[in-house]
Amino acid sequence: MSEEKSWFASWFDSKYYHILYQNRDYTEASIFMDNLLTHLKPNEGSSIWDVACGKGRHSIYLAKKGYDVTGVDLSDASIQEAQKSEHEKLSFFQHDMRKYFRSNYFDYAFNLFTSFGYFDNDEDHLTTLRNIHDALRPKGTFVMDFMNVQQVAENLVEKEEKTLSGIDFHIQRKIENGFIVKTIAFEADGQRHQHEEKVRAYNEKELTALFQLAGLKVQEKFGDYQLNEFDLHQSPRLILVANK
């Protein structure tokens, strides 16, 4: 699948993507960052890699806390926006996480808010994790925040409509061939649009196995942004903390 035709390369660069998700709970995200930092206790000035950083909201927040932060994302439009906030301790690069980035450089790597599982095959996901492994210093820490696929499957809303900024979004969800698929259809600017989000439905055991193949050993798991214990049926998130 070429980058030009991949759903994430086109959809994440679309202005309609940002309209649809404009009401995401940023307060909750900040609380998660604070809880995570309190738990991990990074040393002052630690280097952090924000993998799939979007417009850099979390990278910016982490840099304000005094860390040396590097954010990367495939979306050129998002990175151009993020780069407006760059300073001595904060930098952004347009980058495909399936490609090598740095070696033995970062103390921590974060992959947040289900920014994984986008690719058609397991090999691309494993390559991504190996790149993260290689970029970490010895005993470096990797945190992945993924959806709890069991909870998603048990509570799947198959059809939904949302009106945002005058656009009626028609959303359909299904689980198909090991992927959670969301189809988004709408009319805007005199045209009909349809986009698809397709995320590999990795469960805890599958992710842990992939981590191990990449040289990352899972040390802890949590089920929400308050870092409560993971519950297969109740937890909204699957947060894995691993070490190189």
The residue type found at 233 is: H
Per-residue pLDDT of 146-164, as tens digits, reads 999 999 999 999 999 999 9
1 within domain boundaries: no
In the 8-state DSSP scheme, what is residue 84?
G
**Pair (19, 140) in one structural domain:** yes
Q: For the domain that residue 224 is a member of, what is the CATH number?
A: 3.40.50.150
Per-residue pLDDT of 56-84, as tens digits, reads 989 999 999 999 999 999 988 899 999 99
Residue 172 forms beta bridges with which residues? 159, 183
**Pair (133, 166) in one structural domain:** no
**Pair (34, 60) in one structural domain:** yes
231 within domain boundaries: yes
For the purposes of burial, counting CB atoms within 10 Å of the CB of 85, is it exposed (0-12), middle (13-18) or buried (19 or more)?
middle
The residue type found at 195 is: H
In order of 52, 77, 97, the CA distances from 140 in angstroms are 18, 30, 18
**Pair (33, 60) in one structural domain:** yes
Give me 36's structure tokens: 């995570």
**CA-CA distance, 43 to 118, in Å (whole number)?**
32
**Residue 19 structural domain:** 7-147+202-243
In order of 63, 78, 151, 179, the CA distances from 202 in angstroms are 31, 26, 12, 8
Please tell me the total count of domains within the chain.
2
End-of-domain residue from the set 167, 182, 197: 197
Whole-number pLDDT of residue 2:
38
> What is the CB-side half-sphere exposure of residue 185 using CA atoms within 13 A?
7
**Pair (67, 179) in one structural domain:** no
What is the DSSP code string of 204-240?
A: HHHHHHHHHHTT-EEEEEESSTT-PPP-TTT-SEEEE
**Pair (187, 104) in one structural domain:** no
**Pair (43, 69) in one structural domain:** yes
DSSP strand pairing (159-164 vs 90-94): unpaired
What radius of gyration, in Å, describes the C-alpha atoms of the chain?
18
**Pair (110, 212) in one structural domain:** yes
Per-residue pLDDT of 188-217, as tens digits, reads 989 999 999 899 999 999 999 999 999 999
**Pair (206, 163) in one structural domain:** no
Give me 195's structure tokens: 């986009």
**Pair (38, 55) in one structural domain:** yes
Residue 148 forms beta bridges with which residues? none
End-of-domain residue from the set 197, 217, 233: 197
- Helix-strand-coil split of the chain, %, nearest 5: 30, 35, 35
The CA angle 121-126-128, to the nearest 5 degrees, is 105
Whole-number pLDDT of residue 24:
66
| Beta strand segments in 58-209, E | 68-73, 90-94, 106-111, 136-147, 159-164, 167-176, 179-188, 191-200
**Pair (56, 174) in one structural domain:** no
Mean of pLDDT over the chain: 92
**Pair (13, 124) in one structural domain:** yes
Per-residue pLDDT of 43-58, as tens digits, reads 999 999 999 999 898 9
Confidence of residue 25 (pLDDT cuts 50, 70, 90): low
Phi, psi of 238 (to 5 degrees): -125, 105
**CA-CA distance, 140 to 104, in Å (whole number)?**
9
2 within domain boundaries: no
| The pTM of the whole model exceeds 0.75 | yes
